[in-house]
Amino acid sequence: MLALALVTLLSAPPHQDPIPRMLKTIEPARLMSTVETLVGFGTRHSASDTESEKTGIGAARRWIRSEFNAISKATGGRLEIHEQHFTVNARGLGEVDMVNVYGFLPGTGVDPQGRTYVVSGHYDSRAGSGSDSTSPAPGADDDASGTAVVLELARVMSAGEYAANLVFICVAGEEQGLYGAKHFAEWAQETGLQVDGMITNDIVGNIHGGNGIVDDRTVRCFSAAEGLHSTSRELARSIGASARRYVPKANLRLIFRLDRFGRGGDHKPFHESGVPAVRLSEANENYERQHQDVREKDGVHYGDVPEWVSADYMARVARVNAAALAEWALAPPAPDRLFMRAAVSYDTQLSWAPVEDASVAGYEVVWRDTTAPDWEEVRAQGPEPSVLRVRGREQTIVRATIEGITADGCFFGVRSVSKSGHRSRVCYPDTP
């Protein structure tokens, strides 16, 4: 009975939840128009022309900046626009100047260095050869689609208010070695920006797989583990939970790998620096379109052109991103340390420090069979702490006892829930 009352308490009435309304404002036509404009710059190769107003990566970057500026203006300047300029020594290209462009939406409940969620797409492209900076390299799917998603998220999310900071970033140099993402991840670490989660959108527009499968619902979510457990993987599970709640037509496929076999993406430098980070990609890729010169041979059309990018699918991917980012940024932080006592016991006891955040309504204890990929059971837990004396010192903790379930056969975790019914990602015990 108590558990039922708590579940009711933790679920906000739908009219108080801004997420469904925000998701409705995502416009497929706008996403497509961004892809077509980016393709129109001919090539966005990292070493392409930076002076022309019509072609090359410089023109593309200035257009992205102007889009961000327009979004910022519409929000009365709340979205702050930044550029990061840096030079890299890229293999086969020598010294190349690169620029990341991003919008920063300050949270209402944190300082500018506080809890922050980052979403990215890379705006550079390439043709068949990675060092060819002049041939057409439309990069419609890879990764004008991800860039379009980032710009659309900036537009629809800047219209709302979130407790945590949000960064919408179009990164440079992915094709040459993840340079833009590396630069931002290192800069965030050096400056103490507290990045609590990162999603990269890369190849998120094509629904016709080269394997013949057409799938406009599945979105692959890649996450790696440092060991048995991983905050990146908890981020992935959390995106899955938000998608089930808010984007029921999307099927988020969790894949427990850092990335596609033998390949990489912009979440990698974040994950490696300890930031929970995942990659989203379409269900089935088509290799006749990626990293190909635009040409026709033996009746096959090669090249990453906009004809194969689906506006509705990009919108679905954008909604998956938006639901998760909004839920994290509206939810309290996850508990940061969880202790478990379960040895030689028929029950499992969990304890954690109360999350110091006015929005906390309570917590949810989750568990799953050790062989299950995702959380299976959930129990609401009130926020009331208890005071314990440990080695003569008083400690304030929240405690939960799960009777009749032992950690011998299950994994446990705890997440925070806000008064608005939004959930953090799950924190798992020090000894999982």
Token pair listed for 237:
């599970």
The residue (of 147 and 158) whose beta carbon lies closer to Zn ion is: 147
Omega prior to 143 cis, within 30 of 0: yes
Torsion of CA 251, 255, 258, 263, to 10 degrees: -80
User: Which residues ranging from 184 to 243 are in contact with Zn ion (CB under 5 A)?
Assistant: 202
Smaller CB distance to Zn ion: residue 147 or 165?
A: 147
Is the separation of the CB atoms in 200 and 146 below 8 Å?
yes
Q: Tell me which stretch binds Zn ion (CB under 5 A): 24-32, 137-145, 307-315, 342-350.
A: 137-145
* Closest distance of CB 265 from Zn ion, Å: 7
Which two structure tokens, joined as six digits, stand for 138?
A: 């439309």
Decide: 122 and 146 in contact? Cβ < 8 Å. yes
**Number of residues in contact with Zn ion under rule CB under 5 A:** 3
In three-state form (DSSP H/G/I as H, E/B as E, the rest C), the secondary structure along 299-357 is CEEECCCHHHCCHHHHHHHHHHHHHHHHHHHHCCCCCCCEEEECCCCCCEEEEECCCCC
* Lookup result for tokens 């837990």: 381
Query: What is the closest distance, in whole angstroms, from the C-beta atom of residue 261 to Zn ion in the complex?
Result: 16
DSSP state of 43: B
Q: b/e string for 329-353 if b means 16 or more Cβ within 10 A?
A: bbbbbbbeebebbbeeeeebbbbbe
Minimum Å gap between C-beta 126 and Zn ion is: 9
Shortest spacing between CB 357 and Zn ion, in angstroms:
36
| Minimum distance, C-beta of residue 294 to Zn ion, in the bound complex (Å) | 17
The reply on whether position 266 binds Zn ion by CB under 5 A is: no
Which of 138, 335 has the CB closer to Zn ion?
138
Bridge partners for 393 per DSSP: 390
Candidates 17, 143, 234, 364: give the one binding Zn ion (CB under 5 A): 143
Looking at 142, 259, 282, 304, which residue binds Zn ion (CB under 5 A)?
142
Nearest approach, Cβ of 122 to Zn ion (angstroms)?
6
User: Which residues, 296 to 355, sit near Zn ion by CB under 5 A?
Assistant: none
| Residue nearer to Zn ion on the CB measure, 49 or 143 | 143
For Zn ion, the closer of residues 123 and 412 by Cβ is: 123
Q: Which residues bind Zn ion (CB under 5 A)?
A: 142-143, 202
